[in-house]
Structure 1
């Protein structure tokens, strides 16, 4: 975890898909989230490069978290994706994918997000935008 600001009380147990993929929350605060994913062979496509769907999952997840921060583990907010746009810019060069998400606007029922996907070498590989609807946890 590089430059992590994550409050240990906010760490949730990985949900099944997250656990299967291997990504983890590295930073989470108001309007911002960061997930990291070690790049493994099982995440590549038939060309031997990181599958675009992996970048899409990471963008979707990090934007959703960025818009749902409450600072209170007993008051969870959830976001449901309404729209997701991903722009693929290049290939991962390093060994760690870094997904940063930002809440860029919204209101009481929905919010907008932006994501930047890079590696630990600073190679930008994708950007994304999304629209999310809030859902109550539970």
Structure 2
């Protein structure tokens, strides 16, 4: 894994609130990391489903928007998001990986998975995104 430091954007407020960070970003691929903390828990003490949905949405969007040039940012908005909740995490860190799977000039398709640091797959998802005009 390698991440060009010039591509790392300042965290936005919601990202700061949840605490996830980008670990890797390249053509058609992105990877984020999120330590599991009590503030992410639902009433059962496990990460809230919205945490998984946010990670899946974000990592797919980044995978779809890579340009490799910090001066040329590409942004996309989510048109459709599907999340499958598969298991409870056993570890202490969530790792989300997203991949662009297709698309064209204006719309793009992606898929993502979230595992924990013990290798348990906790969620998967797919999405459709539309590139925003600048």
Q: Which category of TM-score, normalised to the shorter sequence, fits these structures? A: over 0.9
TM-score (norm 2): 0.98
Q: What SS is found at the alignment partner of 1:77?
A: coil
Residue correspondences, number:
134
- 1:78-117 maps to which residues of 2 (within 5 A)? 78-117=75-114
Query: In the alignment, which residue of structure 2 is the partner of 1:72?
Result: 69
1:92 and 1:125 in contact (8 A); partners too: yes
Q: Deviations over 1:60-85 (max 9, x none)?
A: 00000000000001100001000000
Query: In the alignment, which residue of structure 1 is the partner of 2:44?
Result: 47
1:97 and 1:117 in contact (8 A); partners too: yes
Q: Give, in angstroms, the shift of residue 122 of structure 1.
A: 0.5
Q: What SS is found at the alignment partner of 2:75?
A: strand
Q: CA RMSD in A?
A: 0.7
TM-score (norm 1): 0.95
Q: Please, which runs of 5 or more residues in structure 1 have no aligned partner?
A: none
